[in-house]
Chains A and B, each alone.
Chain A
Amino acid sequence: MANKKIFRSFSIGLVVCWMIAFAVIPNILVLTASFLSRTDSQFLTMPLTFDGYDQLFTPLIAGIVMRSLGLACMVTVTCLLLGYPFAWILARAPKKHRHLLIVMLIIPFWTNSLIRTYALIAILNTSGLLNKALMTMGLIETPLRILYTKSAVLIGLTYTLLPFMVLPLYAAIEKLDPRLREAARDLGASRLASLLKIELPLTQSGIIAGSMLVFLPALGMFYVPDILGGAKSVLIGNFIRDQFMIARNWPFGSAASIFLTLIMIVMLSLYAWRTTRTRQGGRL
């Protein structure tokens, strides 16, 4: 018995050590770096300042942050609108097909998302496949300019993150008892009423979890706006990358990174607060 306990604490301890070494300490380093200053010869030097944070609260950065949050919201809503009916179809598909359908959702991940983003260029290009197809069908006269616009970034992020929305939704919908809907319909609820009062509230956990899994990466993914958005649309993820790799202003980049982390912490806390509240509500 004692042996088992030792083994268990050893295996948990191993993971804890790993997380401390590769998650906690790097974050502390970033936090420290955000308060340091920089000179021409050194990336990080001693006088502790709030300069990084001072630079953060300027109209330029506020614009970048607002644009990033807005785009992340749009991506989340698009994924939700696209993914909710889709997850519903998957969850109510014949049981023998369900497994295959889920695996098919995961297979695109086997290809690097950077390469898949490049493939989107070939499709969205002004002389690309999408424009050629639309022009052959006679739907448009002149090619649409999609690539290197905000829509291209929206399409790219939706494309990359859609499975992250569908999987939690699927898990929530599959658990939902179909008889609840039948009961609601029997008692005279319209389709819309049953959707609003039964299905949506009961799959709320999946909706929130999926939205988190889409919203947070959408804020940080810098290569999709880089490849598809051109130079015009700097988002917070690109901005942090540029501060480290190009401008070499590590304190400023660290401060921006800490700011982004704070936004995420606030959202995750809201999520945690919400789920504990609904769970308590369910118990009553």
Chain B
Amino acid sequence: MNTFIKTVYAALVYAFLYFPLVVMGVYSFNASKYSIAWKGFSTTWYLKLLGNTQLLDAALHSLTIAFFSEPWPPLSEPLQLWPCTATVSPGEKSCTDSCMS
């Protein structure tokens, strides 16, 4: 019984966190322009998205920025791992492994 209540409680919290995401996903197939009413299933918005080069360009810019703001591996990895690798004796599992995994 106790585990049942716990499971239900955790499920409710996850539902709270995920319900808006699900709603957003479902409404992306809405034929209506506004999210207020459901006007039937359609893939209009996805087709429009693929046709909108400006938006796709913007997405590409976002991806580029995200890629470079992620610490750039060749520069940042030696910086981050230097203190780890230097102090580990051979044979011991270095903390590099745990950093990388």
Contacts and interface: CB of A to CB of B under 8 A. Distances in A.
Interface of A: 4, 7-8, 11, 14, 82, 85-86, 89-90, 101, 104-105, 108, 111, 115-116, 118-123, 125, 127-129, 159, 162-163
B63 interface: no
B82 A4 contact: yes
Contact of B27 (A14, A122, A163): A122
B6 interface: yes
A272 B83 CA distance: 28
B79 A11 contact: yes
A116 B79 contact: no
B61 to A, nearest CB: 15
Given A82-B13, A86-B9, A123 B20 contact: yes
Contacts, number: 60
Contacts of B67: none
18 contacts: A4-B86, A8-B83, A11-B80, A85-B9, A86-B9, A86-B13, A89-B10, A104-B14, A108-B17, A111-B24, A115-B24, A119-B24, A121-B35, A123-B19, A123-B23, A127-B36, A159-B17, A162-B17
A118 B17 CA distance: 14
Closest 4 CB pairs of A and B: A119-B20, A119-B24, A122-B35, A11-B79
A204 B56 CA distance: 47
B68 interface: no
B18 interface: yes
Contact of B21 (A105, A119, A121, A125): A119
B1 interface: no
Contact of B23 (A101, A129, A159, A162): A129
Contacts of A89: 6, 9-10
Contacts of B19: 123
Contact residues of B: prevailing secondary structure? helix
B72 interface: no
Interface size class of B (residues with CB under 8 A): 20 to 34
A159 B17 CA distance: 7
B84 to A, nearest CB: 12
Contact residues of A: prevailing secondary structure? helix
B50 interface: no
Nearest to B7: A89
B37 interface: yes
Nearest to B24: A119
A127 B37 contact: yes
B24 A116 contact: yes
A11 B20 contact: no
A116 B10 contact: no
A128 B36 CA distance: 7
B21 A111 contact: yes
Interface in B18-73: 18-21, 23-24, 27, 35-37
Given A89-B10, A122-B36, A159 B79 contact: no
A116 B9 contact: no
A125 B27 CA distance: 14
Contacts of B18: 108
B37 A116 contact: no
Nearest to A122: B35
A118 B36 CA distance: 11
A125 B24 CA distance: 14
B18 to A, nearest CB: 7
